[in-house]
Amino acid sequence: MQTHAIEQKNRLILGLGQTGLSVARYLSANNQPYKVMDTRERAPGADELSQLDSEALIPWNAEQMLGYDELVVSPGIAVTQPEIVKAHDYGVAIAGDIELFAQVNRLPVIAITGSNGKSTVTELVGKLLEASGLKALVGGNIGLPALDLLPKASDDAVVVLELSSFQLETTYSLKPTAATILNVCEDHLDRYADYKAYVEAKQRIFENAATIIENSDDELTQPNNAGAKRLSFGFSNNSDWQVDVTDGVLRRGERAVLPLKELTLQGAHNALNVAAAFALLEATGVVINDAVLESAKNYSGMPHRSQLVAVKNGVTYINDSKATNVGATVAAVNSFAPQYDKKIILIAGGDAKGADLSNLKDSIEQHAKKVICFGKDGGAIAELDSSKSIIVKNLQEAIEQAVVSSDPGDCVLLSPACASWDMFSNYIERGQQFEQLVEVL
């Protein structure tokens, strides 16, 4: 058996969807009582829930919350909501699906968070583990919910979890073998009281970690946790795993491990993701052998993350629609600058979620040829450098302007620095539209 028995409690799941449904499935399989509340009239997953228990879904009612032992809160619901705070003050425990997973899991866990790059690193670590001969169970904030990984457990398995700040808020018992915060920049300030609260939520990943993997170039990824072992990755030469852009090589200490030009992944920031993945594997006891190196070289990344779309009329088009905050776009622009300095036509805009956009100003001034802005906060981005900026109504007009503004050898980079909700259902739809528009050029 790869799990402990879950403690018997009367639980109320708040929010259905993918996560809430995974909790309901798990509790049903373990003969645990539960109910589900959701504010939506027709919650996604309601049909499947009714097959588990036709009476499980009940109306949202703050007073009824007080009658349960524990609220299992889905990541999309803020624990600062008054009714949840009241229940907690009344003595009702607050947890999330990752906390339930942590209480019963017995497998080694690699835990990954960060403002940017966490999905790429999570998927990459999974592929590298498989290349080493181990079984990787990858999930959490991407792919399968954590509780759905448990039936797939085996003695040779390692769990790789991408964790959002929202998930970490309700997690207390997770004991990762290795944990990392890849980077921290302003994000989700529409949910948090301030930047400090967001950083503190990220830092929760380190509380019980055996080994901490920190970014040597980002102080906010470096906690005060004297009890844990540490490894580092970064561009600086004091990193355990260094991306040496001057010599074009990834190093472990003084040893050159991999020429950067052999990586399929685009951009120096993605080389940093590879360094982080290697550090996580080392902390887990995995040998970085030839099979692991080949897997790293061949990994092409996830869709909509610095993804090469096409080269049309000598112009390179990159889809980085997943860049939903300023830090991600700064990383992308700076990463492509060595190859396309002053030749980057940046397409940016959308819903900035209350973030400070001014941190994008230096990258635009130093490296961008043009900035084509659209969406709710496109005007604010245009103000960062009005001499280079063009405001358009939509993504189609942005592509049209990019074609007019580009010359052979240029790079058109969709890296919005904003969420997509003002014009698209999600960043995937935004990226797909970009790819379709490029395809017909």
Position 227 scores a pLDDT of: 74
61 and 137 share one domain = no
Q: How far apart are CA 334 and CA 362, in angstroms?
A: 10
Q: Are 214 and 181 within 8 A, CB to CB? A: yes
Helical segments of 284-412, H only:
290-298, 326-340, 361-367, 378-382, 395-405
Q: Is residue 4 part of a domain?
A: no
Residue 40 pLDDT > 50, yes or no?
yes
Say which residue the tokens 């970085």 belong to.
288
Query: pTM, whole model, 2 decimals?
Result: 0.85
Final residue belonging to a domain, choices 241, 273, 298: 298
The answer to whether 336 and 344 have CB atoms below 8 angstroms apart is yes
The side-by-side arrangement of strands in the sheet containing 70-73 is 57-58, 34-37, 11-14, 70-73, 93-95
Q: Which of 298, 330, 347 is the last residue of a domain?
A: 298
- pLDDT top residue among 354 and 299: 299
Judged by DSSP in three states, 97 sits in helix
* 3-class SS of residue 228: coil
Query: Within this chain, do residues 142 and 280 fall inside the same structural domain, yes or no?
Result: yes
d(CA 195, CA 201): 10
Q: Are residues 260 and 157 in the same domain?
A: yes
Residue 100 lies in a domain: no
The contacts of residue 85 (CB under 8 Å, 6+ apart) are 79
Within-domain flag for 101: no
| Tens-digit pLDDT profile for residues 400-431 | 999 999 999 999 999 999 999 999 999 999 99
Judge if 228 and 148 occupy the same domain: yes
| Phi-psi domain of 113 (left: phi exceeds 0; alpha: psi -120 through 50; beta: other) | beta
Its domain, for residue 421, covers: 307-439
Provide CB contacts within 8 A for 78, sequence distance 6+: 84, 166, 191
Q: For residue 204, which amino acid is it? A: R
Mean pLDDT computed over 42-64: 93
Supply the mean pLDDT for the chain.
Answer: 94
Assigned domain for 1 exists: no
Structure tokens at 412: 């058109």
Q: What strands, in cross-sheet order, belong to the sheet with 178-181?
A: 135-140, 157-162, 109-113, 178-181, 211-215, 229-234, 241-244, 249-252, 255-259
Quote the CA–CA distance of 362 and 379 in Å, as a whole number: 17
Examine the pLDDT at 226 and tell me if it is beyond 70: no
Same domain, 36 and 86: yes
Torsion angles phi and psi, residue 112, rounded to 5: -130, 125
Could you tell me the CATH number of the domain that includes residue 322? 3.90.190.20
- The verdict on 423 and 366 lying in the same domain is yes
The DSSP bridge partners found for residue 380 are none
Q: Could you tell me if residue 6 is inside a domain?
A: no
Tokens of residue 11, six digits? 């639980």
Rg (CA), the chain: 22
Residues 424 and 334 in one domain: yes
| Domain identity same for 146 and 261 | yes
pLDDT band at 187 (very low <50, low <70, confident <90, very high): low
Place of tokens 């539209």: 433
DSSP-derived 3-state class of residue 382: helix
pLDDT band at 1 (very low <50, low <70, confident <90, very high): very low
Would residue 373 count as lying in a domain?
yes
* pLDDT score of 110: 98
The last residue of one of the domains, among 267, 298, 329, is: 298
Other C-beta atoms lying within 10 Å of the C-beta of residue 351 = 18
3-state DSSP: the chain helix, strand, coil percent, rounded to 5? 40, 20, 40
Q: Which residues are catalytic?
A: 118, 141, 188
Place of tokens 């509340």: 37
Both tokens of residue 301? Answer: 């990344």
Residue 2 has pLDDT above 60, yes or no: no
pLDDT at residue number 238: 95
Residue 2 domain-assigned (yes or no)? no
Which residue's entry shows tokens 């590879």?
274
The answer to whether residues 141 and 249 belong to one domain is yes
**C-alpha distance from residue 366 to each of 147, 244, 340 (Å):** 46, 21, 11
- Same domain, residue pair 292 and 344: no
DSSP designation for 383: G
User: Could you tell me if residue 5 is inside a domain?
Assistant: no
How many structural domains comprise the chain?
3
Query: Tell me, what amino acid is at 262?
Result: E
Give the C-alpha distances (Å, rounded to integers) separating 421 from 27, 185, 260, 428, 430.
33, 20, 35, 11, 10
Residues contacting 53, CB < 8 A, separation 6+: 24, 28, 34
* Shared-domain flag, residues 148 and 294: yes
SS (H, E, C) 207-226: CCCCEEEEECCCHHHCCCCC
d(CA 332, CA 107): 35
The domain that contains 28 carries what CATH number?
A: 3.40.50.720
Give me the pLDDT at residue 189, please: 62
Looking at the chain, the whole-number percentage of residues with pLDDT higher than 70 is 98
For residues 271 and 253, the answer to whether their CB atoms sit within 8 Å is: no
Q: 269 and 351 share a domain?
A: no
pLDDT band at 225 (very low <50, low <70, confident <90, very high): low
Q: Is 47 left (phi over 0), alpha (psi -120 to 50) or beta?
A: alpha
